[in-house]
Amino acid sequence: MSTAYGLLLDCDGTIADTERDGHLVAFNRAFADLGYDISWSVEEYRALLDVPGGKERLRTYFSQHPELGLGSGEALERHVLALHRRKSEVYLELVDAGAMPGRPGIRRLVHAALDGGWRVAVASTSSARSVEAVARSVVGDEAVERMSGVFAGDVVEHKKPHPDIYELALTDVGLDPSRTIVVEDSRPGATAAQRAGLTHLVTVNHFTKDEHFPDAATVVDSLGEPGAPSTVIAGADARNAEGFHDLDSLRRLLAG
């Protein structure tokens, strides 16, 4: 097991604010493109965010709306797979078009961690292609190549809030849980980190700003940037003197 510090990042809502401006737009365009009379509102999608994973959200929604007449079993699964395939294509188009800029502090902190000898990885329940595309768009190709891994999609049996994805990342990267911190944005992700025994920092977004994170070391509106400090919502104030999070901030959270 490595003695290096570890930084594990969720993707959607954490690296970039992808849910409202990316995934929701892509789902609705996929519905239209494939001829489904469905268009999710922001509030409908907010409720579906409690279900991690795009295919899982489709299955949940269809199970709640049998009046759509999409059948069950293999018939329903064909609808799910076709829609998710088209949704993923649209989503990647949005990423390539620069529709989802990175959240404050992410690029800065990832580069600082890599330069400082930390082991950095992404751990997400979204599809591997979309996660890597977002990571490359926000932190850059060179930084992604230097990461210790991008763990995404269906690489584990159970998705968040189960701890599987974080346990896999810990094992594969060889990280010491006591020296590893997670950056998350949602309740399922924070629960997964807590169940994996990991200190976690939560950066809330539009969809998660009203959620409660009782086990988080700190909850902030963003990591902040020089000249643009973050706001502490709950938990410890580990920000530096300028009001944003840096590597020393993360070490303080791990020690606290």
Give the pLDDT band (50/70/90) at residue 159: very high
Active site residues: 10, 12
Q: What is the pLDDT of residue 167?
A: 98
| The model's pTM | 0.87
Q: What is the pLDDT of residue 248?
A: 98
Q: What is the pLDDT of residue 67?
A: 95
Q: What is the pLDDT of residue 29?
A: 98
Give residue limits of the domains in the chain.
6-17+102-255, 19-96
Task: Round to whole Å and give the CA distance between 214 and 45.
Answer: 24
Q: What is the pLDDT of residue 21?
A: 86
Q: Residues 208, 192: contact at Cβ < 8 Å?
A: no
Task: Round to whole Å and give the CA distance between 129 and 206.
Answer: 24
Contacts with 151 (C-beta within 8 Å, 6 or more apart), sequence order: 121, 122, 123, 124, 165, 168, 169, 172
| For range 179-185, the mean pLDDT | 98
Q: What is the pLDDT of residue 42?
A: 93
More confident residue, 18 or 121: 121
Residues 184-216: b if buried by 16+ CB within 10 A, e if exposed = bbbbbbbbbbbbbebbbbbbbbebbeebebeeb
| For range 197-218, the mean pLDDT | 95
More confident residue, 98 or 227: 227
| For range 26-38, the mean pLDDT | 97
Give the pLDDT band (50/70/90) at residue 237: very high
More confident residue, 103 or 99: 103
Contacts with 117 (C-beta within 8 Å, 6 or more apart), sequence order: 4, 5
Q: What is the pLDDT of residue 189?
A: 96
Q: What is the pLDDT of residue 36?
A: 97
Topology alike, domains 6-17+102-255 and 19-96: no
Give the CATH class of 6-17+102-255.
alpha beta
Give the pLDDT band (50/70/90) at residue 229: very high
Task: Round to whole Å and give the CA distance between 214 and 239.
Answer: 19
The model's pLDDT over 137-155, given as tens digits with 9 standing for 90+, comes to 999 999 999 999 999 988 9
Give the pLDDT band (50/70/90) at residue 96: confident
Residue 110 Cα distances to 54, 72, 121, 163, angstroms = 26, 44, 9, 23
Write down the CATH number for the domain with range 19-96.
1.10.150.240
Q: What is the mean pLDDT of the chain?
A: 95
